[in-house]
């Protein structure tokens, strides 16, 4: 479980996150949604420790990330898997080497065990046939899947996904969403997904946070999001004609 308590973050005097408090349960896909510039990525980076908030704290199963020593931080890092917006695969390595990399750095396994673990992760994301390819030979969706395989290689307790569907077609997006959802359930991990894709919200949104202007505007899940009375959320949700029509059809 991850708890974010009264987190504030500013850049050059401009406040980007304003007093955010939220709890992310394990075994659930927690989605942070909002318009571009709402502070989603900044919040995610504060949670993973890439940014240090000016105020507030982030607790990982009760452990305050800002109060951790070097060793404890290193241990926590090994419990974290992250999927970046552009996959961030190491382009000097093959797909298999990318997945083996965290194991090479931190596991005590033998070479064959590391290789087998990496192959298992690639198989889990359906990418075993591409293990010897370089990242630039893969499609966008395959790169995301390879990045997920790398993220789960060390059996993380926490998985973070920054815009996992950006640049992907709806079908591939759906597959990536299903994969994230299945991995969250199967490994009982705390997953936080940063997105503005409504398909993801309706598909895997066990717990949804809506950010607007750096504030936590609404909190709920995929079942109650469409019936919300929050005006800002509704403006965000129903800015698309398609969603508007779906809502009208639902009402009928």
Partner 1 sequence: MILANSIKSFGSYLILMRRVLSRPQRWSVFFRQTLHEVYQLGMSSIPIVLLISFFIGAVICIQMKLNVESPWMPKFVVGYATREILLLEFSSSIMCLILSGKVGSNITSEIGTMRVTQQIDALEIMGVNSANFLILPKITALVSMMPILVTFSITAGIAGAYAIGEFTGIITAEDLTTGLQHEFRQWYIWCSIIKSFAFAFIITSVASFYGYRVTGGSIEVGQASTNAVVSCSVLILFSDIVLTQLLMQ
Contacts to partner 1 by CB under 8 A = 48, 50, 73-78, 80, 82, 84-86, 88-91, 101-102, 104-106, 160
* Beta carbon nearer to partner 1, 68 or 128: 68
Q: Cα-atom radius of gyration of the chain, to the nearest Å?
A: 19
CB of 49 to partner 1, least distance (A): 8
- Minimum CB separation of residue 4 from partner 1 in Å reads 17
The nearest distance, CB 81 to partner 1, in angstroms, is: 8
Q: How far apart are CA 90 and CA 45, in angstroms?
A: 20
Separation of CA 191 from chain center? 6
CA 20 to chain centre: 18
Nearer CB in complex with partner 1: 63/245: 63
If the CB atoms of residues 37 and 170 are measured against partner 1, the closer one turns out to be 37
The tokens of 231 are what? 């005006």
SS3 132: coil
What's 66's DSSP letter?
Answer: G
**Is the Cβ of residue 74 or residue 245 nearer to partner 1 in the bound state?**
74
Q: How far is the CB of 143 from partner 1 (least distance, A)?
A: 11
State in angstroms the smallest separation of the CB of 74 from partner 1: 5
Q: What separation in angstroms does the CA of 87 have from each of 108, 151, 162, 218?
A: 26, 10, 9, 29
In whole angstroms, how close is the CB of 145 to partner 1 at the nearest point?
16
What CA–CA distance (Å, rounded) separates 53 from 56?
A: 7
Among residues 84 and 238, whose Cβ is nearest to partner 1?
84
Distance CA(32)–CA(210), nearest Å, equals 6
Q: What are phi and psi of 78, to 5 degrees?
A: -75, -10
Please, which residue, 5 or 93, has the CB nearer to partner 1? 93
């Amino acid at each position: 479980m991850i708890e974010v308590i009264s987190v504030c973050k500013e850049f050059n005097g401009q406040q980007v996150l304003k007093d955010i408090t939220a709890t992310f349960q394990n075994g659930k896909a927690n989605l942070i949604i909002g318009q571009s510039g709402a502070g989603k990525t900044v919040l995610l980076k504060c949670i993973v420790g890439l940014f240090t908030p000016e105020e507030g704290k982030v607790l990982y199963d009760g452990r305050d990330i800002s109060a951790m020593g070097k060793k404890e931080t290193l241990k926590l890092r090994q419990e974290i898997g992250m999927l970046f917006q552009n996959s961030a695969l190491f382009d000097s390595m093959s797909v298999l080497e990318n997945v083996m990399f965290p194991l090479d750095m931190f596991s005590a396994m033998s070479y064959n065990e590391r290789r087998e673990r990496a192959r298992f992760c690639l198989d889990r994301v359906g990418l075993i046939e591409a293990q010897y390819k370089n990242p630039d030979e893969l499609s966008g969706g395959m790169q995301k899947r390879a990045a997920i395989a790398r993220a789960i290689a060390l059996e993380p307790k926490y998985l973070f996904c920054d815009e996992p569907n950006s640049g992907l077609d709806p079908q591939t997006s759906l597959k990536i969403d299903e994969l994230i959802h299945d991995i969250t359930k199967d490994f009982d991990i705390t997953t936080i997904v940063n997105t503005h894709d409504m398909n993801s919200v309706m598909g895997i949104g066990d717990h949804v946070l809506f950010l607007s202007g750096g504030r936590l505007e609404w909190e709920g899940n995929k079942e109650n999001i469409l019936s919300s009375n929050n005006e800002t959320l509704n403006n965000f949700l129903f800015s698309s004609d398609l969603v508007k029509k779906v809502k009208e059809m639902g009402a009928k």
